[in-house]
Every structure is written in C-alpha cells, then in structure tokens.
Amino acid sequence: MELRGFKKTAIWLWWAVDRATRNVLGWVLGDRDARAARALGAQIPCGPHIQYRTDHYRCYNAIFPRQQHVQSKAQTHIIESMNNKLRCYLARLRRKTHCYSKSEDNLRDSLLFIFQRKFNARLQPCTGHVLCERLWGSNISIPV
C-alpha cells in the first residue's frame, strides 16, 4: 500500500495478516523492493503447515517457499479490505494531494495506534527501540 504520493518520497506499507484471525503478524515501512520484502519475511511465522497468499508482485518470491506460496488476486481480499479500513481510519492515507504526512515518524506512530486500536494487534510494551534502516533519508527508531 503506497502511503506517500510523490515518487521521490514514496513510502510503502508492507504488512502481513492472519486470514483466520485478521491479526497483524508483521509490517515494514520501506521501498517497494526485495529488501523491504525480506524485512517483512523476517517478522512473520514460518513452518511447513503455513500457506502464504499474495498478489503477483515478484518480490514475494524472495521470502516465501514456492511450495507454500499461492499467488492470486482472488486470495488477497482480506488484506485489501483491511487496506481500505486503514485508509478510512487515517486521512493521511486517502489522497496524494490532501492530508498527507510529511513526517515518517508521525506516520509510523499513527499506524501503530491503528494496528492496536482497530485491528487488535498484539503490540508489546515499549522496552526499547529498534533502528530501522531505510533506503531513503535518515533512519528511524521504532519502539519495541
């Protein structure tokens, strides 16, 4: 999901959701490339019984085993529904020309709030910070 409209400063939200419970399993703010995909892949559970369902974007092939990966737009209706809800809850995600966020930190904090309040994500108490290395601009600190 693209969060900022201009190509120079585009930020993409990569997130994984459990289809059965709709819990947020992991998320990354970054570019639309394999590096961001691998950062997301490191956060989500893995195992022989888990099936991963994505659209046909080729970066997903870098993080999911071929035998467990189903690529089909028909299988992404839950995440697309949650993307629409996210746009509804956060005005800064609706349009490229209005209500956009100039601060990546504010965007991150808004997403954390919505994940916890609206999507019932299990966020751990803030015990420290993880430095998120970004491909554009300066790095940001994510509370953990």
For residue 24, give the H/E element and its range.
Answer: strand 24-30
pLDDT at 43 over 50: yes
Indicate the pTM of the whole model.
Answer: 0.69
Confidence of residue 144 (pLDDT cuts 50, 70, 90): very low
Q: What are the chain's domains?
A: 7-143 (3.30.420)
Q: At what angle do helices 77-89 and 104-117 cross, to 10 degrees?
A: 110
* Local structure of residue 1 (DSSP, 8 states): -
Confidence of residue 3 (pLDDT cuts 50, 70, 90): low
- Give mean pLDDT, residues 113-134: 62
- Give mean pLDDT, residues 6-13: 67
Average model confidence (pLDDT) across the chain: 76
- Give mean pLDDT, residues 32-59: 87
